[in-house]
Structure 1
Amino acid sequence: MKTPTFAALALACLLVAGTAAARPASVTDPRAPRALAEEGPVQVQWNDPSGFTELRQSRNRWEAERGNWVVNLAEYLRKQASSKLPEGQQMAVTITDIKRAGDYEPWHGSRMDEVRFMRDIYPPRISLQFTLTDAQGRVIDQGERKLVDNAYLYGNTRLSDTDPLRYEKRLLDDWLRRELRDDPATAGL
């Protein structure tokens, strides 16, 4: 019987390390970021997702915390807000709570554990705080908003749209459209 060579041991270590890195990310991982890197006119941070309604009231917490959907929503918010802000204005947003559209219904059996059912009783909700400042750093507007779309299933979402965050992104788009009007003279007023 041969003893394992150094190359075989190194390959085995790489496979084990690759498998550990390949596991699904968790939004509640203590090492996960709680803010986007500072860049551009929009800064986005968020509270600990383990306190979000999405996880606290989930019927499948393990599935609800999988992935990096909080970061994806924060990046989307930054991109959309940056494109709508008038020149010189800046925005700081703190996401305080998220309840994603749909929910898990465990009574359908173990084969449906990972299925998020979209029903009108499970609308998307996002709570956030924001501060909008002008080029000199003076506060133009600030506040707290509790966003909800009770008619999310009846909106103009394309049937071909398979983005799992499409309803939450549409909710953010609607808020930005209201908050940052197209007329730069009235933005934030």
Structure 2
Amino acid sequence: MKTSSLFAGILLALFLAGPVAAKSRNVTDPDAPRSLPAEGPVSVDWTDPAQFSDIRYSGNRWEAQRGNWVEQLAQHLQKSAAKKLPSGEKLQVTITDIKRAGQYEPWRGPNLQNTRFVREIYPPRVSLTFKHTDAQGNVIDQGERKLVDSGFLMGNSMFGDSDPLRYEKGLLDDWLRKELKPKTELSAR
């Protein structure tokens, strides 16, 4: 009897502790990171996500801030840039605004209030500042970019891809392809 009541007590404690450990994180949480750990030649940080267009103009602020999508986009940017960056060069990026593809349309009623509708009129947008340096620390390029892909549903639309951030990641990959072109391609123009 004692072992069964002890076992029941342990199960009850685990059951009660479960929801606390499984609390979903919001990108606007004060304890959420605002940068990725400095690893390799690419550093990525971001401003306060509570000020990002995706949250401020979402139509459903509570749903828009759920998860850690800012950090996931930053990780994708860091990995993709590290693959394209020539040896010895460094890239520092600060993400200043994100508007993910799609929009919540609350006028569709309570059954669809948490659904993001992806249409051509809601393209992904990312604003960032960056600094690209060579192996000696000389600035190759720096500035601000406002990225938008108004044709994100056409062309290489990534059919079958279930990643909810596929359009934003594609937008960042396009920017990196253009920004980090080898010098031979730039001088051939």
Question: One fold, TM greater than 0.5?
Answer: yes
Deviation at 1:7, TM superposition (A): 6.0
Deviation at 1:155, TM superposition (A): 2.9
User: Equivalent pairs: percent with the same residue?
Assistant: 59
Q: Does 1:21 align with 2:21?
A: yes
Separation in structure 1 between the aligned mates of residue 16 and residue 139 of structure 2, nearest angstrom = 51
* Structure 2 counterpart of 1:169: 169
* Structure 2 counterpart of 1:118: 118
Structure 1 residues 1-189: aligned runs within 5 Å: 8-183=8-183, 186=186
Higher alpha-carbon deviation: 7-16 or 69-78 = 7-16
Deviation at 1:14, TM superposition (A): 3.3
Tell me the amino acid that sits aligned with residue 117 of structure 1: F
Deviation at 1:118, TM superposition (A): 1.1
Separation in structure 1 between the aligned mates of residue 185 and residue 157 of structure 2, nearest angstrom = 31
Higher alpha-carbon deviation: 109-118 or 86-95 = 109-118
Separation in structure 2 between the aligned mates of residue 184 and residue 165 of structure 1, nearest angstrom = 32
* Cα shift readout 1:97-152 (whole Å, capped 9, x = no counterpart): 00000001111111111211111111110000000111111111110000001111
Deviation at 1:185, TM superposition (A): 8.1
Unmatched 5+ stretches in structure 1 = none
Separation in structure 2 between the aligned mates of residue 109 and residue 135 of structure 1, nearest angstrom = 55
Separation in structure 1 between the aligned mates of residue 155 and residue 164 of structure 2, nearest angstrom = 15
Give the 3-state SS of the residue equivalent to 1:153 in structure 2.
coil
Higher alpha-carbon deviation: 106-115 or 66-75 = 106-115
Separation in structure 1 between the aligned mates of residue 18 and residue 67 of structure 2, nearest angstrom = 17
- With the length of structure 1 as denominator, give the TM-score of the two structures: 0.90
Separation in structure 2 between the aligned mates of residue 92 and residue 124 of structure 1, nearest angstrom = 22
Unmatched 5+ stretches in structure 2 = none
Tell me the amino acid that sits aligned with residue 149 of structure 1: D
